[in-house]
Amino acid sequence: MDWRPQASINLTALQHNLTQVRQHAPGQRIIAVIKADAYGHGLVPVAQSLQGQVDMFAVARLHEAITLREAGIAADILLLEGVHDQEELTLAIRHTLQPVVHQASQVALLQCMRPDRTIYCWLKINTGMHRLGIAPSEVNTTLQQIRCCQHIRLCGLMTHLANADDPADTSVRQQMDQMIMLGKQHPLPQTIANSAGILHWPASHADWVRPGLMLYGAAPHPTRPGSAYDLQPVMTLTAPLLGIRQVQAGERVGYNGLWEAHKTHQIGIVGIGYGDGYPRNITADAYVIVNQQPARIVGRISMDMLTIDLTDIPAQRGDQVVLWGTELPINQVATWAQTVPYTLFTGVTARVLRHYQ
């Protein structure tokens, strides 16, 4: 038996979630977002599973894209942050990547380049996120500059929604309206929607959608689990029960003695901690699943271990404990940790064994 924590990755669930993307956006092309090691699920295995099923991949950084190419992934790859200097542009061209162009310095880089092949790129517009993107008022001039470069092919216009995870938000409409206006002047393909746009804002679907989180089975909505959208969790995080000990009334468990027994308790020691990516700060009602039953976490989360109350739960050393996944939605854990599923997924560290099924 392997006593390490394990992230079991269910590629069938990944495929199921992709069909959910298709149901929501049936007429759109799909850019699968697999940045940050496919949200902790494993960049290359996830890309291999989705290759041929999606129209394109997106990563944030050049080196993520190069890892994909070195693993033999031949699909189109969108570089969400674009390239930052000449050296990166040269590599992007060598690996036939499609950079996003989001600021004037990147247009200048492209203008200087005389590559032996066409560069395919996307122009990003700032419609309200105020992070990346040129102003809508600069689109005309920038398009003229790009069109002067024979070696550049513009694939489309892109923007990113700031508040799409809130179905009642009003700024999403304003962001979409700006893209509609631009579309009237410049009939180019558009991509606007992330997972939240796909699930909550049909008007944002445009020509290409960019699902990330929902592919992995979690919902971007702050309180709803993925199952509310018929999504299936791809990652199930488990760790073994390393031992069980009895504590008596008055004894305290773990660092700083945060939790004190008021009667005799059975305490389970679980082999996972914040050094594996389980959040250290969680509310007192947080639990894990042991033999299909919720077992409350007691005391502080340590680096390699956490402790649970097994007083009324049949369990023995070696049993697998579920931290999140099929029996416990990651949105729930994110709520206990006052964070979002994105940070939990991407926070799973390298020493957690991934295995694929």
What are the catalytic residues? 35, 255
C-alpha distances out from residue 113 to 97, 109, 117, 269, 327, Å: 15, 7, 11, 59, 53
Burial class (CB in 10 A: 0-12, 13-18, 19+), 223: exposed
What residues numbered 145-184 form the site for ligand PLP, per CB under 6 A? 160
Of residues 48 and 346, the one with the C-beta less far from ligand PLP: 346
Per CB under 6 A, contacts with ligand PLP among 212-251 are 212-213, 220
Measured from the CB atom, the residue of 15 and 346 that comes closer to ligand PLP is: 346
In the complex, least distance from residue 102 CB atom to ligand PLP, rounded to whole angstroms:
10
Q: How far, in whole angstroms, is CA 244 from its chain's centroid?
A: 35
Which of 211, 240, 271, 329 binds ligand PLP (CB under 6 A)? It is 211
CB of 166 to ligand PLP, least distance (A): 13
Q: Given candidates 21, 34, 43, 80, which one binds ligand PLP under the rule CB under 6 A?
A: 80
Q: Does 195 bind ligand PLP (CB under 6 A)?
A: yes
Q: Helix, strand, or coil here: 323?
A: strand
Max CA-CA distance within the chain? Answer: 78
Question: Using the rule CB under 6 A, is 331 a contact of ligand PLP?
Answer: no
Residue 124 CB, nearest approach to ligand PLP (Å): 8
C-beta nearest to ligand PLP: residue: 212
**Element counts in the chain: helices (H) and strands (E):** 11, 18
CB of 159 to ligand PLP, least distance (A): 9
Binding piece for ligand PLP, criterion CB under 6 A, among 10-18, 87-95, 145-153, 193-201? 193-201
Cβ closest to ligand PLP, residue 33 vs residue 297: 33
For ligand PLP, the closer CB: 62 or 196 = 196
Count of residues of this chain found to bind ligand PLP when the rule CB under 6 A is applied: 12
- Strands 353-356 and 152-158 turn out to be unpaired
Of the residues 194, 236, 238, 335, which one makes contact with ligand PLP according to CB under 6 A = 194
Question: Cα(256)–Cα(22) distance, rounded to whole angstroms?
Answer: 50
Q: Which CB, 81 or 251, lies closer to ligand PLP?
A: 81
Instruction: Scan residues 10-39 and list those touching ligand PLP (CB under 6 A).
Output: 33, 35
| 210 binds ligand PLP per the rule CB under 6 A | yes
- Give the CA radius of gyration of the chain: 23
Using rule CB under 6 A, residue 265 touches ligand PLP: no
The answer to whether 204 and 177 have CB atoms below 8 angstroms apart is no
Q: How far is the CB of 35 from ligand PLP (least distance, A)?
A: 6
Point out which residues pair with 244 in neighbouring strands: 268
In order of 304, 348, 354, 355, the CA distances from 2 in angstroms are 15, 18, 12, 12
Q: Least distance in Å: CB of 40 to ligand PLP?
A: 12
Could you tell me where the beta strands, DSSP code E, fall in the chain? 6-9, 29-33, 56-59, 77-79, 98-101, 119-124, 152-158, 190-191, 208-209, 235-247, 252-253, 259-260, 265-270, 287-290, 293-298, 306-309, 320-324, 353-356
Residue placing its CB nearer to ligand PLP in the complex, 30 or 213 = 213
Binding site for ligand PLP (CB under 6 A): 33, 35, 80, 160, 194-196, 210-213, 220
